[in-house]
Chain A
Amino acid sequence: MSLEPSESTKMHRTLPKSSSGMRGLDEITAGGLPSGRPTLICGAAGSGKTLFSMEFLVHGATRYNEPGVFVAFEEKAEELAVNVASLGFDLNQLQADGKIRIDHVRVERSEIEETGEYNLEGLFIRLGYAIDSIGAKRVVLDTIESLFAGLTNQGVLRAELRRLFEWLKEKKVTTIITGEKGEASLTRQGLEEYVSDCVILLDHRIENKISTRILRIVKYRGTIHGTNEYPFLIDDEGISVLPVTSLQLNHPTSVERLSSGIPALDKMLNGKGFFKGSSVLVSGTAGTGKTSIAGSFIDSTCKDGGRAIYFAFEESPHQIVRNMRSINIDLQSHLDSGLLLFSASRPTLNGLEMHLLNIIRLVEKFKPNVVVLDPISNLITVGSTSEVKSLLTRLIDFLQSQQITVMFTALALNDGKAEQTDESISSLVDVWILVRDIESNGERNRGLYVMKSRGMKHSNQVREFVITDEGLKLVDVFLGPVGVLTGSARETQQLLERTSEAIHDHAISRKDREIERKRLVLESRIAALKEEFESVQEELNKSYIEDELKKSILNDNRKELTHKRDNLL
C-alpha cells in the first residue's frame, strides 16, 4: 500500500494520472485521478467531499509540486483553513507560499437581479487568473451546484458548465468537482452528464446505528480500477482507503518460530512455538485465561525485542496491565520502552470496516511483529458472523503479507457443541488452541488442547493449564487408573501415590533388614561349621600323626631289637 504509483501504473501510460497521495486510493485507481481532466466526487452531506478534495489539493501542492486552486462556493477561505487544520494542513502558510489559492465564490440570490443575456465569463476569468497566478495544476470546485441556487437561468448555467469543463480540460488542470447526491441521480443537478471521465461516490452508511464510510469508483474511463465498495477512514491523518479485499493468497511464508511465552505450550508445538506470520486462535469459555495467554505471548515477544500491538475490545489498557501484573507479567515496562502499543476501543464504537481500517492503519504505522485482538467475539455485536469472518479473512491476509503473527482470542459458549466463532473462523487460522473448563469434584480446572497447528508436529495431549502468581504453567495431566485427573483431584491422586510409595519404601527396607539378619545368622552358622570341620580335621590329623609316630617308633624299636640280637650272637 505504498503512496507512490505502483508498477501497474506504469503499464497504463495511455492515461496519465495525478497521484492523490491518499492512502489506498492510488491503488484502487491504479495511479490516481485522471490528469488534466475533471473528476466528479459526489456524495451526501457530510460524506467527506470537501475534505477529499482538499486533501487531493494539499498533497498535490506539498508532495508532487502541483499547486492548486480551491474554489469554494460554500465556505469562506478562513472557515476552510480552520476545518482542515485538524488534518495538519496549514492552508494559510500554503497560500502564503503560493502553493494553494483559495477563492471563495459567493452567490447571493437576494443581491442579484437578472436581466437579459449573460454568461459566466467572470467565473472563467477569476478561475483563469487564480490558476495562472500560481501555475496551478489542480483545481477543486466545491460545490459548483451552489450556482444553481444563486442563478435562475438554468439554460445558461448548463451551457456554461459544459463550457467550463471543456475549458478546464484545455487548461490541462486536473479538476475535482464535488456534487451533492440527488434523489435518483448521482448529483442533484446531474453534473455526471458533464463529467464523464471519472466519477467517485462517497457514502456514509449507517447500519445498526453504526456508521461506515464507503468509497466507490462509479466510473473511470480508459483505465482499470477497483469496482468494490471500499471503506475509508477520516482521521487526523486525512483519508485512508484500504483496498483490503484485493488481496491474493500468495504471501511469503516463514519457517522462523516465535515462542508463545509458555515453555510447555511451545513444547506442545513441536518444541518451538508458532511460525512467524501465522495466525493463532485461542478460544475458550469465560475465565479460562485467554487474555493471560495473549499477555504472555506479548510479554515474550517484547522481551525478545519485538514490537506488539494489543487491540483490546473489552478491557481498558490499565485494567489489562494490572491484571497481567498479578500473574507476574509486566506489560508496563514494554509500554514504557515503546515496544508495546495498546489500542482499546469498544466494538460498538465503529463499524466492522472501520475497526479493520483502524487496525491496518495502526499496524502500518507501528510495524509490529505481533498483533493481539482480544476478544474477537465482541465484534459480532456489530456485525454478523459472516461479516466478522470476512473481516478476519482480510485481516489475516493483510497481516500475513506483512509477516506479522496474530493472536485472536474468542469467547466460546459452553453449550456442548462446537462454538460458533470457533467454527466460523477456525478454518482460517493456522493454530487453534482451545482452553476448556473441566468440571469435576466440585471444581473447575482448565484444560488446554492444541486443536490444530498447521505445518508442524504438535501434541495431541490435554494439559492442565494453571495460572499462578509466577505466570502461566502447563501441568502434565495425571493419567490415573480412573482417567484424566486435574486440579485437586490430580493433587489428591498424587498425594495418594506418594503415600503408597512411602509405605512401599518402608516395606522394602524392612525386608532388607530381615535378609541381612538372616545372612548374619547363616554366616555365623557357616563359621561354626567351619570351626567344627577344622577340629574334626585336626582330630583326624592327630590320629594319623600318632599312627606314623607309632609306626616309626615300632620300626626303631625293631631295629634296636635286631641290632641287640645281632650283638648277642
Chain B
Amino acid sequence: MEVNEEIWELRLYVAGKTARSVTALANLKKYCEEHLKDKYVIEVIDLLVQPQLAEGDQILAIPTLVKKVPEPIRKIIGDLSNEEKVLVGLNIRPAN
C-alpha cells in the first residue's frame, strides 16, 4: 500500500480528562501501535484549555478524532470502542 509512505496526523479533541476521553485515547493508541507503527502523530487537544480551537476543525462532539493527513479529512466521534469502524475511518482498512 502506498499509504505506508505517509505519516498519519491525528488529532484527538477532548474536554478534560473524562473517562470517555481516556478510553478514546487508549483505544487510539492501541490501534495505531497495531496498524501504523512509527507512522503516526497523535495530538491531543483539550478544549477546556484551548476552546478557540473547536471552531477550526468544526468540533461538536467529544471526543472527536480528526484525521487531517492523509486526505480525505475524516472525523470519528465517540470513544473509539469499535475498532473496525475506526480503522475504516482512518483509511487503514477499506470499507467493505
Q: Which residues of A contact B (CB under 8 A)?
A: 103, 105-108, 111-123, 125-126, 128-129, 147, 151
Contacts and interface: CB of A to CB of B under 8 A. Distances in A.
A111 B15 contact: no
Given A107-B60, A111-B73, A125-B15, A117 B78 contact: yes
B82 interface: yes
B25 interface: no
B38 interface: no
Nearest to B76: A113
A118 B58 contact: no
B47 interface: yes
B55 interface: yes
Given A113-B85, A115-B89, A121 B15 contact: yes
A119 B82 contact: no
A114 B47 CA distance: 20
With a 10 A CB-CB cut-off, give which of A103, A105, A119, A128 has the most chain B CB atoms. A119
A115 B74 contact: no
8 contacts: A103-B55, A113-B77, A113-B85, A113-B88, A115-B76, A116-B80, A126-B59, A129-B54
Contacts of A111: 72-75
Contact of B78 (A115, A121, A147): A115
Contacts of B74: 111-113
A115 B80 contact: yes
A115 B75 contact: no
A112 B75 CA distance: 5
A427 to B, nearest CB: 61
Given A116-B78, A119-B61, A120-B61, 17 more contacts: A106-B58, A111-B72, A111-B75, A112-B77, A114-B76, A115-B78, A115-B86, A115-B89, A116-B23, A117-B20, A118-B20, A118-B63, A118-B64, A120-B62, A122-B59, A126-B59, A129-B54
A115 B15 contact: no
Contacts of B52: 129
A421 B70 CA distance: 75
B78 A122 contact: no
A128 B59 CA distance: 13
Report the 3 A-B pairs with minimum CB-CB distance, sorted nearest first: A116-B78, A116-B81, A129-B51
B60 A147 contact: yes
B8 interface: no
A122 B61 contact: yes
A114 B89 CA distance: 9
Nearest to B51: A129
Contacts of A103: 55
Nearest to A113: B89
A122 B64 contact: yes
A102 to B, nearest CB: 11
A116 B81 CA distance: 5
A494 B51 CA distance: 97
Contact of B76 (A108, A112, A120, A128): A112
B48 interface: yes
A105 B58 contact: yes
A129 B82 CA distance: 31
A121 B78 CA distance: 12
B61 A151 contact: yes
A133 to B, nearest CB: 8
A115 B58 CA distance: 18
Residue of B58, B60, B74, B82 with highest tally of chain A CB at under 10 A: B60
A120 B63 CA distance: 9
A107 B62 CA distance: 14
Nearest to B15: A121
Given A126-B54, A126-B55, A121 B75 contact: no
A5 to B, nearest CB: 35
A125 B77 contact: no
A115 B51 contact: no
Given A122-B47, A122-B61, A114 B78 contact: yes
A118 B54 contact: no
Contacts of B23: 116
Nearest to A112: B75
Residue of A114, A125, A129 with most chain B CB atoms under a 10 A cut-off: A125
A505 to B, nearest CB: 104
B80 to A, nearest CB: 6
